[in-house]
Amino acid sequence: MGKESVWNRQPSERESYPPKVKAMYEAVLELFASGRELSTLKVSEITARAGIGKGTAYEYFSSKEEMIVGAIEYEAARHFYMIMDLIEGGQSFREIIFKGLDMMEASNQRYSGFTLLEKIMKDSTLSSSGLWEEIKRHSEGCSLVPGLTRRLLELAAENGQIQETDSFRVWSAILSQFVVYAFYLTHQKMFPEMEREEARETVYGNILKILT
């Protein structure tokens, strides 16, 4: 009954969600942002917040876990396609990196943590539910990621900003510096002399140094 993972689709395929599915996904994310642990959510809570009947959930999902993981994937895909739009719109490598930092800031503000994944990993109730298995099942295929990497590398190469062509090294550089910025966002009191814009420029500069 479950939907095909968005990560198994081709880069040109945009995910289209039925209105009720989108409402349930948004409800899950809103409840999570309010401080609830994912695996303690009830279907009745989710559907009530979405403004639909409880039975409607099972017209689209075979389990609560599938619904929750779908919501996580929905949030990640939304960010992914925002980056894809920047790439396809001819934005610079710098603009794309800074947009990624904007997304990180928004996530930090909404979920009181630097990423949604961090909060999932900290959820102490996952090990006793089927939620973690559902997450692993959905993460088995990530065919969109290589396409994003290839397009990002092509864009950076055209502008002469990056010489590195190995995908693993590229993502290692970008993700490592995003972790650095995440640490900055959650521990700004430790760096009173570092202004936000300076921190962002430092992250971007470090990525270029690693990859050139």
Show the domains of the chain with their CATH numbers: 7-211 (1.10.357.10)
CB–CB of 178/118 below 8 Å?
A: no
Which parts of the chain have pLDDT scores under 50? Answer: 1-2, 6-13, 114, 128, 141
pLDDT for position 19: 92
Residue 130: Cβ-neighbour burial (10 angstroms; 0-12, 13-18, 19+): middle
| 105, two tokens | 């800031």
pLDDT for position 114: 47
CB atoms within 10 A of CB 36: 15
pLDDT for position 9: 47
C-alpha torsion angle, residues 142, 184, 95, 155 (rounded to 10): -50
First to last CA, the chain: 47
| 51, two tokens | 């403004």
Phi then psi for 208, rounded to 5 degrees? -65, -40
pLDDT for position 159: 67
Model pLDDT for residues 74-114, shown as the tens digit of each residue: 888 888 888 888 887 878 888 889 998 998 888 888 776 54
CA–CA separation, 75 and 65 (whole Å): 16
pLDDT for position 125: 55
Residue 64: Cβ-neighbour burial (10 angstroms; 0-12, 13-18, 19+): buried
Q: Which of 207, 178, 180, 208 is nearest to 194 (CA)?
A: 180
